[in-house]
Each structure stands twice: as structure tokens, then as C-alpha cells.
Amino acid sequence: MPLASRVASPLEPENCGDSLNWGRGSRFSKTVRDALRCLGRQPKLSQQINDANQQLRWAKDVGITAFLLKFGEGLEEVPESRLYISALTIGLSYFVGGLVPMAPYFFIESAQIALYWSIGIMFITLLIFGVFKAYFTGAKIGLMGYLKASSATIIVGGAAAAASWLIVKTLEKP
């Protein structure tokens, strides 16, 4: 499993849990007391409101805490199955991403010719991926928007491939 999924998966629910605990421990009851103080000392009314608030405060889907976490922080509780789906998605992406550029080497005997085929296949793959990335991330739509996104993806992917190739060539014994 890639390092990114090992690191990100456990932290996602932990971050939500920390924010949830912070929200539940807020100073809402003090705020209620302060608001009721202007009406005069009414400890019984303050206690009734605070008791009703406590029941809602610890509920998962209702109350001010859930509202603030969802709309203020943009956080929702993460189901545990999502962690496994994310890890599987990342793992399969790395597998396919590594397999596609290697495919020509399985079918072509000459490594030099297979390299050119691999470069061409990856160019087309990164071009298509750049268009999909621009579409699904809401980037500027239109021919120029897709062209810019595809170009950026090709440049980054090409730079990574070139760096990898240079490292192998440098470490290769003469």
C-alpha cells in the first residue's frame, strides 16, 4: 500500500473526531447564561435550557455542534469503509499507472522502440487524464481550459518520467 494512503487514512477520521470533541466542549452553556443574565437572574430557566442543550449536544446528527462542523468546518464523520475504498483506489491507481507505460515492453522486443511507444502512450494517457481532471475538478471549462490542464498534466508527468529515467541512467553500471 502506498505511503500516502497509510498516512492519510487514519488521520481523516481522527481530524473529524478532534473537531467534534472541540465543538462539543464549546462554551454554549456560558453563552446561554450570559444571554439570560440580561433578563434578570433566572437560574431555573438557564438550567432547563442547558439541560435541553446537553441532550442535543451529544447527539451525532443534531444540534449546534453538528451544524458548525458540517457548515463551518466542512467536516462530516467519515465511515470506516471509506478508508478501505480510498486505500484500494490509490493502490489500483498506482498499479495501473505503472502498468500502462510498461505495456509496450511486453510486446516489443527492442527496448528503444518500446521506449518510444511508451512515451507516446503516456502522452495520450496524460492528455486524456488532464481533460478529465479539469472537468471533474471544476477547472475553467472550454477548449483552452482543457488544453491548459492537459498541458500541465503532461509537463508534470513528463518531468517525473524524465527524472526517473535520469536516475536509472545515472545508477546504471557502464
Q: H helices then E strands: how many in the chain?
A: 7, 0
> DSSP letter at 70?
I
At 154 the pLDDT is 93
The rounded percent of the chain whose pLDDT value lies above 90 is 24
Q: How far is 119 from 125, CA to CA, in rounded Å?
A: 10
Q: Where are the domains of the chain?
A: 3-72, 81-171
| SS3 label, residue 120 | helix
The rounded percent of the chain whose pLDDT value lies above 70 is 63
Q: What is the pLDDT of residues 92-134, one digit of tens each?
A: 989 988 898 899 999 999 988 998 999 999 999 999 998 988 8
Distance of CA 125 to the CA centre of its chain: 22
Q: Which of 137, 135, 126 is nearest to 159 (CA)?
A: 126
Q: How far is 104 from 118, CA to CA, in rounded Å?
A: 6
Q: Do residues 57 and 64 make contact, with C-beta atoms less than 8 angstroms apart? A: yes
| Alpha-carbon torsion (26, 32, 35, 38), positive or negative | negative
